[in-house]
């Protein structure tokens, strides 16, 4: 379990396909107390550290490659990193599982004063789990939805306001329109939708 508050940004050292068409990625380790088998969110995807020391190594399965944008990573790519929560940690973001629901894409990045307006397009199937001022995770970052706009049969848009601290301390600073992003909707919203669906209730 994570909270969507990015601890470190690291540069991919290597990203190599395995003979089974899966992926192994290596990232310089920014911590001194990582344990073998520890869960770490990489761009919002919960992965298991298969090597500790100066370099972290992660194995990415086919299922994860299908559901996320990790397959587009290459040497030099920046990624957001977050270690799993401790029971006593402050929950500064929201409950994040590291289980990506879908891949969206940036469609607008506009400076507004010292902040930036970011707009993401995601599949319309996830509209029931999104509400204005609700939480969502984008590449592992806990964000608040400002607006929901332009729904159609396939996609809709989410608008966010990104403060300078978040921009400078995540891989968002490398974002460009068209870039893919990992999306995890609020797990509480998914449970609520599952509970009310048998009763014929719909989202607002």
- Same CATH topology for 8-83 and 102-199: the answer is yes
pLDDT tens-digit series, residues 38-95: 999 999 999 999 998 899 999 999 999 999 999 999 999 999 999 999 888 888 999 9
Query: SS3 sequence, 179-200?
Result: CEEEEEECHHHHHHHHHHHHHC
Cα–Cα distance measured from residue 26 to residue 164, given in angstroms and rounded to the nearest whole number: 28
> For residue 85, what pLDDT is reported?
93
> For residue 87, what pLDDT is reported?
85
Are 104 and 183 in contact, with CB atoms under 8 Å apart?
Answer: yes
- Nearest to 125, CA basis, from 98, 107, 101: 101
Cα–Cα distance measured from residue 66 to residue 38, given in angstroms and rounded to the nearest whole number: 23
Is it the case that residue 203 has pLDDT exceeding 60?
no
More confident residue, 160 or 195: 160
Is it the case that residue 200 has pLDDT exceeding 80?
no
Q: Where are the domains of the chain?
A: 8-83, 102-199
Q: What is the DSSP annotation of 120-152?
A: EEEEGGGGGG--TT-EEEETTEEEE--EEE---
- Read off the DSSP letter of residue 64: H
Cα–Cα distance measured from residue 152 to residue 58, given in angstroms and rounded to the nearest whole number: 37
Cα–Cα distance measured from residue 155 to residue 198, given in angstroms and rounded to the nearest whole number: 25
Is it the case that residue 204 has pLDDT exceeding 50?
no
Is it the case that residue 122 has pLDDT exceeding 60?
yes
Cα–Cα distance measured from residue 53 to residue 67, given in angstroms and rounded to the nearest whole number: 29
Query: What is the torsional sign of CA 87, 84, 81, 93?
Result: negative
* Average pLDDT for 7-14: 97
> For residue 153, what pLDDT is reported?
86
> For residue 91, what pLDDT is reported?
86
Cα–Cα distance measured from residue 42 to residue 116, given in angstroms and rounded to the nearest whole number: 23
pLDDT tens-digit series, residues 155-193: 999 999 999 999 999 999 999 999 999 999 999 999 988
* Average pLDDT for 137-153: 94
Which CATH number is associated with domain 102-199?
Answer: 2.40.30.20
The CA dihedral of 41, 47, 52, 53, to the nearest 10 degrees, is -40
pLDDT tens-digit series, residues 101-112: 999 999 999 999
Which CATH number is associated with domain 8-83?
Answer: 2.40.30.20
């Amino acid at each position: 379990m994570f909270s969507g508050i990015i601890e470190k940004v690291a540069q991919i050292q290597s990203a190599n396909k395995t003979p089974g068409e899966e992926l192994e990625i290596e990232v310089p380790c920014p911590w001194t107390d990582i344990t073998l088998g520890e869960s770490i969110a990489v761009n919002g995807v919960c992965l298991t550290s298969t090597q500790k020391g100066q370099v972290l190594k992660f194995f990415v399965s086919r299922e994860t490659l299908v559901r996320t944008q990790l397959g587009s990573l290459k040497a030099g790519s920046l990624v957001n990193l977050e270690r799993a929560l401790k029971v006593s940690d402050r929950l500064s973001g929201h409950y994040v599982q590291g289980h990506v629901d879908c891949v969206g894409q940036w469609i607008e990045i506009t400076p507004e004063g010292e902040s930036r307006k970011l707009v993401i397009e995601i599949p319309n199937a996830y509209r029931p789990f999104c509400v204005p001022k609700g939480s969502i995770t984008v590449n592992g970052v806990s964000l608040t939805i400002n607006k929901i706009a332009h729904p159609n049969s396939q996609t809709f848009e989410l608008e966010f306001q990104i403060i300078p601290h978040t921009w400078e301390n995540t891989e968002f600073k490398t974002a460009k329109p068209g870039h893919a992003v990992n999306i995890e909707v609020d797990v509480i919203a998914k449970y609520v939708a599952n509970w009310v669906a048998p009763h014929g209730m719909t989202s607002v």
